[in-house]
A and B are shown apart, each in its own frame.
Chain A
């Protein structure tokens, strides 16, 4: 006679991925760093990243050399070539805005991939999508991966409101991609 243990599992779930560390080495400051901006086509994403880059240049000495790239498929993680280019050309990458079900998850996957390739990254998601963003961190084997959130919604903000968001995010972006922030986190 069959028992409950004989009921088949419909998930086919394999053991979770064991991921390597998802933290690239950090610099102590951002003087002269070449920024990469990876926008995902969501409305206001490019503007938010541009505003952050301007602040990092004027207030933290980031280089005027900025590589701007657009994700071709926002729902999916970055293709290898685009990842390789960012890793080659940039010292720090900012990406976002994770503002939908699939793109918030894929933004986190991109951040983790960049970190594993040695480039500190700040991933910005809307705070309405933490479940899916954190779910992706788990799938990638980095359940503690720290991404940044900004209040939902982002898409309908006017340019001044986007600038305000950049200003609010700046200290957390700096903390995320520098050694000071990493130490702070380790201490907390």
Chain B
């Protein structure tokens, strides 16, 4: 099969026809609010040519909504999101990574919490596609970061049919929803990549994903003491507003400066986790003040009022990357990191990127 590559420049392209096509996509209800790239057969075929997958292969479903996602639909939505064809193997890996989050299989997309995927890319594909791992890593400004994340949102909206004010019941949603796809700054990280903790060998391109409720910064350019630094993280992680259940997960996207400070003090990722697991949480007195000191049989907190004020409720249910994933990303220009509010935990299972991620006509050809 020979593929027709669109020429890089179309001298007689009609901007008004393009505008009409964009408006058509809005009128169909397919857009997340921003313009979509009109996806034609020839464009989508270029996406499909980057992977050896059957277009009708089902890669996700919400049985109760009678909807399924196929490789073909993933390609259509990725094209509409503004991806280049060679991003498609990353989109498929990102989708699979998010499917491994148990919330995505349950009612996560319909949830009042309005969760957003946090996607993390590791390995050589970061450089091949020009994924940003450094300054401004949470975006915007970089096409692969922005459009890979957006693809997932369009797949949920269009292919799964979970649309705001319909099956999507987010109370407020959150800033950055469908917009966060980080490349890990492996070059300036003192630790093993997230994908290695997710079971993929170092040096192999992979995507990890989890549903999150928001991110909150920890700005600490004030101390060189690792314990003071970690205590600042423990305070943000432990805020009561995020406590719904007996335990809850969190994540950290460390900037290189904070990560290196901790590593220079001899701490591994596991050491950092252990330090935080030991200390994160709140006293029953604190929790009673906000009506969350009791814990029911189903693990949900409630206003008890009769609990021992001296008792301490630890926040984490374990000490592994499932409940506290750690990533390093961003510029090395300040001590500013992000605490991530992970919805229900990380699968601790990363997905290798399989396909042709180099942008050339040859690479797009099917054998």
Q: Give residues in A with beta carbon < 8 Å to B.
A: 2, 4, 6-14, 17, 41, 43, 73-77, 100-106, 109, 129, 131-132, 135-136, 139
Kindly state the separation between the CA atoms of A136 and B108 in the bound complex, as whole angstroms.
16
* Interface of chain B: mostly helix, strand, loop or mixed: mixed
Contact of B39 among A7, A105, A109 (CB under 8 A): A7
Contact of A101 among B20, B67, B154, B170 (CB under 8 A): B170
In the complex, the answer to whether A139 meets B65 with C-beta atoms within 8 Å is yes
B169, CB-defined interface residue at 8 Å:
yes
Q: List the B residue with the shortest CB-CB distance to A141.
A: B66
In the complex, the answer to whether B167 meets A101 with C-beta atoms within 8 Å is yes
Kindly state the separation between the CA atoms of A100 and B167 in the bound complex, as whole angstroms.
11
Some 8 contacts from A to B, beta carbons below 8 A apart, are A6-B41, A10-B76, A12-B158, A102-B108, A102-B169, A105-B167, A135-B166, A136-B65
B70, CB-defined interface residue at 8 Å:
yes
In the complex, the answer to whether A101 meets B168 with C-beta atoms within 8 Å is yes
Within 8 A of A (CB), among B60-83: 64-70, 72-73, 76-77, 80
Contact of B165 among A43, A105, A131 (CB under 8 A): A131
Q: List the B residue with the shortest CB-CB distance to A75.
A: B107
Q: Please give, as numbers and ranges, the residues of chain A lying within 8 Å of B24 by CB-CB distance.
A: 4, 7
Q: Please give, as numbers and ranges, the residues of chain B lying within 8 Å of A73 by CB-CB distance.
A: 106
Q: List the A residue with the shortest CB-CB distance to B66.
A: A139
Kindly state the separation between the CA atoms of A4 and B24 in the bound complex, as whole angstroms.
7
In the complex, the answer to whether B66 meets A132 with C-beta atoms within 8 Å is no
Q: A6-B40, A106-B107 are in contact. List 7 more A-B contacts (CB 8 A).
A: A4-B21, A11-B73, A17-B66, A41-B298, A41-B300, A75-B107, A102-B106
In the complex, the answer to whether B41 meets A102 with C-beta atoms within 8 Å is no
In the complex, the answer to whether A10 meets B110 with C-beta atoms within 8 Å is no
Q: List the A residue with the shortest CB-CB distance to B81.
A: A10
Interface string of B94-122 (1 = CB under 8 A from A): 00000000000011101110000000000
Q: Please give, as numbers and ranges, the residues of chain A lying within 8 Å of B88 by CB-CB distance.
A: none
B38, CB-defined interface residue at 8 Å:
yes
A34 to nearest B CB, angstroms? 26
Contact of B64 among A6, A8, A76 (CB under 8 A): A76
A18 to nearest B CB, angstroms? 12
Of A8, A9, A10, A74, the most chain B CB neighbours within 10 A belong to: A10
Q: Please give, as numbers and ranges, the residues of chain A lying within 8 Å of B281 by CB-CB distance.
A: none
In the complex, the answer to whether B111 meets A101 with C-beta atoms within 8 Å is yes
Interface string of B296-334 (1 = CB under 8 A from A): 001010100000000000000000000000000000000
A102-B110 contact, Cβ under 8 Å, with A7-B40, A10-B158, A135-B166: yes
A132 to nearest B CB, angstroms? 5
Kindly state the separation between the CA atoms of A105 and B110 in the bound complex, as whole angstroms.
9
Contact of B66 among A7, A8, A14 (CB under 8 A): A14
Q: Please give, as numbers and ranges, the residues of chain B lying within 8 Å of A13 by CB-CB distance.
A: 67, 161
B30, CB-defined interface residue at 8 Å:
yes
In the complex, the answer to whether B30 meets A11 with C-beta atoms within 8 Å is yes
A76 to nearest B CB, angstroms? 6
In the complex, the answer to whether B111 meets A8 with C-beta atoms within 8 Å is no
Q: List the B residue with the shortest CB-CB distance to A4.
A: B24
Q: Please give, as numbers and ranges, the residues of chain A lying within 8 Å of B25 by CB-CB distance.
A: 7
In the complex, the answer to whether B169 meets A101 with C-beta atoms within 8 Å is yes
Q: Which 5 A-B pairs have the closest CB atoms?
A: A102-B107, A75-B107, A101-B169, A101-B110, A10-B158
Q: Please give, as numbers and ranges, the residues of chain A lying within 8 Å of B262 by CB-CB distance.
A: none
Kindly state the separation between the CA atoms of A8 and B168 in the bound complex, as whole angstroms.
24
In the complex, the answer to whether A102 meets B68 with C-beta atoms within 8 Å is no
A10-B73 contact, Cβ under 8 Å, with A73-B106, A102-B106, A139-B65: yes
B93, CB-defined interface residue at 8 Å:
no
